[in-house]
Amino acid sequence: MPRDGSPGGSGGPVPPAPMNVGEVADPPFAVLPDPGRLFAARAARFEALAPGHHLQPYLELLGRLSRAQHRVVSILPPAKLPAEGRLATALANAMPPISIGQVELDTVADAAFTGIVGLLDPAGNEATAAAIATCKATTAEQRRAIMQAVLLDEIPADAIAAHVLAAAALQVHFARLAAQLDAKSLQRVADGACPACGGAPVASMVVGWEGAHGTRFCACSICATQWHAVRIKCLVCSSEKGIAYQSLDGGSDTIMGETCESCSSYVKMLHQHKDKMLDPVADDVASLALDLTLQREGWQRASVNAFLMGY
């Protein structure tokens, strides 16, 4: 695996929500998700990646799961933000206003969970069918505990499939919460922490949006908020030294692992100017071979993708 000390270009996807970045001189700090199109676009990406891929059955399953996420968005009751006073206090102290450690997993979150379980077609996948049956047999309290385990990263090894479904529900719930925030009020929490919910990134992306070309944004693994981060800087320890970019020999140059010699960690970087269809969640799963190679070489993954539980 070669090392390249430069980022290798600049990128550019369609942002997750409409914005007129071309009207400002500098890129915005935060871009909020658009739940109405986020999961449909992700489903289309999984479906495009699946044919001929060595993970084809799993990518097809995740495409169906993303379709279920998209469908449930339109039938859920409104997601309820924390009280205004609580939001104001969080923002005044540069804390995530919808912190995953503070937001209540209420009946709306539970409706997202049961809705996805009811809509997902296992299409002959026995493990998924068993997980659906298990989730349908749970009480609201048990489902809340499963979702909480996902947020706390306390996943039982024998119940991964059910927790993947819970993670899909959390993505829907927190994306709907984040979409209601004021992006301009969000403040940097840490390079590797979402300013909306405090979640870890799934990947970072060098974008090519008008008015923001060549800048890097991180994509939250939970609420899908994107936040601006300095390029060639470790998202874990903030080191600017010993940063390198790794790719598979003969592989695509649109997805690389940004490695840091200071802390031995890596986070994938997507160069979206070369392929605007790249999705941080879908393409992270599809590039699992890069993870396996990096980890064999001693690098530790510092990003999170619920759809890679167990890998």
> Which residues, 6 or more positions from 246, have their beta carbon under 8 angstroms from its beta carbon?
1, 2, 3, 4, 256, 257, 258, 259, 266, 290, 293, 294, 299
Whether 13 shows a pLDDT value over 50: the answer reads no
What is the chain's mean pLDDT, rounded? 90
Confidence of residue 4 (pLDDT cuts 50, 70, 90): very low
CATH topology of domain 3-33+187-308: FdhE-like fold (3.90.1670)
Whether 207 shows a pLDDT value over 80: the answer reads yes
pLDDT at 181: 97
First vs last C-alpha separation in the chain: 21
The CATH number of 38-178, from 3.90.1670.10, 3.40.50.620, 3.40.50.1370, 1.10.287.130, is 3.90.1670.10
Chain-centroid distance, C-alpha 18: 19
Residues 243-296: pLDDT tens digits?
999 999 877 789 999 999 999 999 999 999 888 999 999 999 999 999 999 999
Q: Domain boundaries in the chain?
A: 3-33+187-308, 38-178
Rounded Cα distance between 302 and 259, Å, is 10
Whether 77 shows a pLDDT value over 90: the answer reads yes
Residue 95 near residue 151 (C-beta atoms within 8 A) = no
pLDDT at 107: 98
Least confident of 83-87, 123-127, 142-146: 123-127
pLDDT at 9: 31
Nearest residue to 212 (alpha-carbon basis) of 185, 231, 234, 198 = 231
Phi, psi of 101 (to 5 degrees): -90, -5
Rounded Cα distance between 254 and 10, Å, is 10
Whether 20 shows a pLDDT value over 70: the answer reads no
What percent of the chain shows pLDDT beyond 70? 92
Two domains, one topology: 3-33+187-308 and 38-178: yes
Mean pLDDT of 104-108: 96
